[in-house]
Amino acid sequence: MAQRYNKKTLSFKQKIGTGILVVLLVIGGVVYKLADRYLIEHVEVVVADDAAAAGEASDSAVTAEEVNAVSDDWSYSSDDIQIKIDQVQTGSGSDQITYFVADVVLEDASSLQSAFADNSFGTNITEVTSEIAENNDALFAVNGDYYGFREDGVIIRGGTVYRDNPVRDAMALLSDGTMETYNEEEIDSSELLAQGVTNTLSFGPILIQDGQITSDFSSVKIDTNFGNRSIQNANPRTAIGMIAPNHYVFVVVDGRNEGYSRGMTLTELAQLMQDLGATEAYNLDGGGSSTMYFMGRVVNNPQGKNQERGVSDILYIKE
């Protein structure tokens, strides 16, 4: 009887052990898939190694005297670039909103550029906005569309097509200094390049098109990635708008910090962009990503903690 009991007990324990092992393997597989999708870097294209990037920055650097530049904490003016930043506060108490508006006028559209984190294209490759900006000798920068958090969209940067999976409304910057908003599924990337598109950003939604606010934004959906917050609520925001060719307006809204700034809804952001005179305007990645950099410092208060979040790309201004 004792031997039979021991065999039964051992068999039961073996089954329990096997069950636990199976559960652990399943959990491990799920954790690995999540890590692989959202955490592990996947480099698809190395744009430039660090040494090459440093060499290019050194070769292209110009002195303030060469471009007749004058600047202070909130403005920069040279032969080719004018930047003026204003901090604005509206409301009070729990309804207070704090945001930053950068009015940018360029002599040449090539002064507005894009850059990838770590000079590499792929998923889950991140650096903070200020670090990417400094590595590219940027005068001014904002976070981009965080393309690396997704695997779709049409991503053209510097005239090169890096991803061609059309799914949403997007924004394009052209070599003539204009900005256009469009539906990725209605025009292919080769036609975009033929039209002179140098950079596209794939996030959204479109805020202003042909001078008009596009919708009430009640059913906007950018993607369904794990961990996303609702895009309809008041949140930190980043947006770009065009007033006229080579005349842009960038807005970064702080949020999630009661008494300082609650953030903006998309409707509020669209109205602001229209009030600022934008004929085209587009919503970029927001939330903890929303960051404005100028002349070596972060202007706003990212995440309500003065703490930047890593992003995959930026838009920046450079001599």
Per-residue pLDDT 10s for the chain (319 aa) are: 555 556 666 576 677 777 777 777 767 665 545 555 555 777 788 886 543 333 344 455 677 678 899 999 999 999 999 999 999 999 999 999 999 999 999 999 999 999 999 999 999 999 999 999 999 999 999 999 999 999 999 999 999 999 999 999 999 999 999 999 999 999 999 999 999 999 999 999 999 999 999 988 877 766 655 445 557 789 999 999 999 999 999 999 999 999 999 999 999 999 999 999 999 999 999 999 999 999 999 999 999 999 999 999 999 999 9
Q: Cα(302)–Cα(50) distance, rounded to whole angstroms?
A: 27
pLDDT tens, residue by residue, 96-126: 999 999 999 999 999 999 999 999 999 999 9
Question: Which pLDDT does position 65 carry in this prediction?
Answer: 74
pTM of the model: 0.85
pLDDT tens, residue by residue, 14-33: 777 777 777 777 676 655 45
